[in-house]
Amino acid sequence: MAMGAADVVPGVSGGTIAFITGIYEQLINSISSFDHLLVKKLFKGDIRSIWRQVNGDFLLSLFIGIGVSVLTLMRLANYLLENAPILLWSFFFGLVLASILYIGKQIDRWKLVNVLAMLLAVVTAFYITKLTPADGTDDLVYVFFCGMIAISAMILPGISGAFILVLMGAYATMTKAVSEFDLKLIAVFGSGAIIGLLSFSKLLKWLFVHHRNLVLAILTGFIAGSLNKIWPWKSVLQSRMINGKEKVISEESILPWNYDGESKMFLAIAMAVIGFILIFALEYFSDKNKDVSDKG
């Protein structure tokens, strides 16, 4: 559910939550286990073997949690983004900042190539946050493509799938489709997401097996570069009227004392601290659960 809650907020990655809670590699391994052998087992009716191969209990509980969270929290997230954006972004800023420290310390050995890869990832992610969103569209082929790209971002720590949808002009389309239960759009988007998920997970699994420290360095850079997107205080550079509502097209990060309005700085700092502490609380409980599982 925490992954789903993160993914509905443009700028925050559910993949980051998965990594912090210690299930990221298990998730990648489970998804990448879908292969042609499953088709043969399916024709043989060997459902039990299929379920074991894909770690079915794990995936079922995870995706139910994500689905419930997306369906129930999307409206709340939209409400907070409109009515309490500084406090919401402050909370996630603290959360993501702590994530950088958490993932960075997983690297066993820092080499020059890891440092350079991390810096390149920082620049790339920062550049992405500065891009201007595209105009919305409900073309089915484009929606399918958006599903492929967004789901790849959702399982990649530091890159927000929801923000990628914003950049591609499909965020409003899909939030409306979910709110109105537009099954056609949801099905097309979901089909693209499934194909993208299966393809990208295999690549990530290979990278983790052969270049673990390099991947962790890149993920650390992606998360660090994404901080610009979720900085709480923004100055609007360009906006546009869409469906009767003014939507921000481009903005820049500013210091809280330069904010045009009530900065809520002390309350924002408190929310950031809560988000920061939450990460290490999640790490603590994750390690505790892992110890219990190992003893079992």
Long-range contacts of 73-80 (CB under 8 A, 24+ apart): 73/4, 73/5, 73/8, 74/8, 74/175, 74/178, 74/179, 75/179, 77/5, 77/8, 77/9, 78/175
pLDDT bracket for residue 96 (50, 70, 90): confident
Residue environment code for 147-162, b if the CB has 16+ CB neighbours within 10 A, otherwise e? bbbbbbbbbbbbbbbb
The region that residue 285 occupies, defined by phi over 0 for left and psi between -120 and 50 for alpha, beta otherwise, is alpha
Of 214, 178, 236, 205, the residue nearest 106 (C-alpha): 214
Q: Which residues sit opposite 251 in a β-bridge?
A: 236
Residues of the chain above pLDDT 90, percent: 7
Residue corresponding to tokens 């958490």 = 102
Across 81-110, average pLDDT: 83
How do the domains of the chain map onto residue ranges? 2-295
> pTM value?
0.70
- DSSP-derived 3-state class of residue 62: helix
Residue corresponding to tokens 């992405």 = 128
Q: How far is CA 216 from its chain centroid?
A: 16
Do the beta carbons of residue 53 and residue 14 sit within 8 Å? no
CA 31 – CA 35 distance, rounded (Å): 9
pLDDT at 296: 56
Q: What is the pLDDT of residues 198-249, one digit of tens each?
A: 888 888 888 888 888 888 898 888 888 878 878 889 887 666 655 555 666 6
CA 293 – CA 279 distance, rounded (Å): 21
Compute how many other C-beta atoms are within 10 angstroms of the C-beta atom of residue 179: 12
Residue 291 has pLDDT above 70, yes or no: no
Q: How far from 243 is each of 77, 165, 173, 221, CA to CA, in Å?
A: 19, 18, 11, 36
Q: How far from 2 is each of 68, 86, 136, 234, 282, CA to CA, in Å?
A: 10, 20, 27, 26, 11
Residue 183 has pLDDT above 80, yes or no: yes
